[in-house]
Structure 1
Amino acid sequence: MAVQGIVTAADRIRELDEINGGLADMLNHMGQAIKALGPNAQAGSDDLDARKEVFQEHSRAAYVCTQAFHARMKRQVYALEEAGIILAQAHIHSATSSAKHKQANNQPVQGQGGAPPVPPASEAEHITNGGLGNLDVGWLNSRGNKVGMEKEAELLQEAKILLEDELERRRGPAASAG
């Protein structure tokens, strides 16, 4: 457990794991709500009122899970902002706000070549690293070793084949001479 006021990376990971578990609960409730809409949803019962009650119960529970997820993820974002990993003033540039801005200026909604729309200059000044702030994706990717391990295994396999070929080539004349 963290000392009061100090939250460690392990604490954040545990929180994210709990949030992940909440998503599974939310999806379960959504699935049960949808299942209640179908005929014979209740063990052989076609009682419409019972199915409505089950649907409402699971819909409410899914809504509560969704709200909890939203609140907990918002806390994670605030923690990232406080740590200086992402910028607090980085605006999320949605397609709808971009479309409204482009239509107001009689500009096409799509960027060049069908690319995503570019934010207006005033918003672009506040967005750093595509909205990621100080988070360096290249740094994160460099910490993964999967590509290096795969390439090492590939090179070792090639070296093994070359050595086997060389051994076979050297054994060939010696075996025929004896």
Structure 2
Amino acid sequence: SPSNEAEPPSAYRPFTKAERIQQLNDIDKSITQLLQSAGLALKTLSASQSDSTQTPSARREAFENASNSYLKTLQKVDIGLKRQIYGLEESNIIPPEKAKRGRDGQDGSGMGGLRSAAAPAEPPSGESGMGRLDIGWLNSRSGRVGRDMEAELWDKAKVFLEDLERGNSN
């Protein structure tokens, strides 16, 4: 129709910082839901004497429901994280995926990702984030961020599973 052609395409509108933070908060809640679904699935599989009132078919159905919930939530988290990554790439905060890998698995240096053993690893420069300071490069050299996040998630999972074991599945 002619009225649609006269309008500029307004479908694309970048997310605001507040919207991005809300999306990350939703992903965080989904990860909590992932842990709950996994805990419930494991609980239905455990051969607990106190829960012998359930029939095997009821336990199987409960396991399937918890497993399906886990898989749906996992897919939701995966999609949400990919969208966040694409947003960071569009904002030039991190380099686009293709630029990082280059063609045929090369890292863009023409050396197929191999570096000279004598050459020290230098941080990448250019249009990859914070000017010459590439936060991702710094974090990858540290490993501390990942270890801290992993430890925090393991602690949350442990507390959650202990609560489930005690019957506090809130």
TM-score by length of 1: 0.51
The 5-angstrom pairing of residues 32-111 of structure 1 reads 32-40=40-48, 43-88=51-96, 89-91=98-100
1:120-170 C-alpha deviation (Å, 9 max, x unpaired): 823479xx749x9325329x99xxxxxxxxxxxxxxxxxxxxxxxxxxxxx
CA distance in 1, matches of 2:135, 2:81: 20
2:37 corresponds in structure 1 to 29
- Asked whether 1:10 is paired with 2:5, we answer no
Q: Is the 8 A contact 1:29 1:58 kept in 2?
A: yes
What SS class does the counterpart of residue 77 from structure 1 fall into? helix
Percent identity over paired residues: 28
Q: Is the 8 A contact 1:22 1:65 kept in 2?
A: yes
Deviation (angstroms), 1:15 = 0.6
1:33-62 C-alpha deviation (Å, 9 max, x unpaired): 000001238844252111111111000000
Q: Which amino acid aligns with 2:53?
A: S
CA distance in 1, matches of 2:41, 2:52: 17
- Asked whether 1:137 is paired with 2:135, we answer yes
1:122 corresponds in structure 2 to 112
What SS class does the counterpart of residue 84 from structure 1 fall into? coil
CA distance in 2, matches of 1:124, 1:5: 39
RMSD, aligned α-carbons: 3.7
Q: Is the 8 A contact 2:129 2:135 kept in 1?
A: no
Q: Which has the larger radius of gyration?
A: 1
What SS class does the counterpart of residue 16 from structure 1 fall into? helix
What SS class does the counterpart of residue 27 from structure 2 fall into? helix
Q: How many residues align?
A: 110
CA distance in 2, matches of 1:78, 1:41: 49
1:45–1:87 distance in 2 versus 1, CA, 3 Å: same
Q: Is the 8 A contact 1:26 1:62 kept in 2?
A: yes
Structure 1 window deviating more from structure 2 (44-53 vs 8-17): it is 44-53
